Amino acid sequence: MRQIALLVSAAVLAVLPVAACSTSETPTAAVCDNLTAVQNSAQHVRDTNVAENGLNQLRTDLIQLRTDVQALIASAKSQWKPQADAIRTSLDQLSTSVDAAKSAPGKSAFDAVRQAVTTLETNVKALGDAMHGAC
């Protein structure tokens, strides 16, 4: 369980750079607000103590992160659609991997979570790069 927490924390760290945008373009308020929500949700995931609260709390926090990312995707509309779609797919893969690790913990399950985290990190970085200067 501790390995899952560490892996998910790594995924959350990948999400946080998205919120480190500066102001050089004129974004909609919704995009920036949703970016802040993603940052806050990511912090909750990072703060989840799996040993104390179990994987159910982590799952709840991941659901909130997904909700916030989906709101960001919706507010970004087509401007960052390819990157947003890639993140949505990555979140689906991570959720599936965490569920599998919860059901049948083991090396292969943790490897799948690790790979899903790496993919999420790559896709969030791509969105962060695309949004650079927007918020």
pLDDT tens digit sequence for 99-114: 898 899 888 988 888 8
Question: What is the pLDDT of the chain when averaged over all its residues?
Answer: 74
Q: What is each CA distance from 24 to 34, 81, 95, 134, in whole angstroms?
A: 18, 20, 34, 6
Rounded Cα distance between 100 and 103, Å, is 5
Chain segment 21-36, per-residue pLDDT in tens:
444 444 567 877 887 8
Would you state the pLDDT for residue 61? 84
* pLDDT beneath 50, residues of the chain: 6, 10, 13-26
Under 8 Å between Cβ of 116 and 93: yes
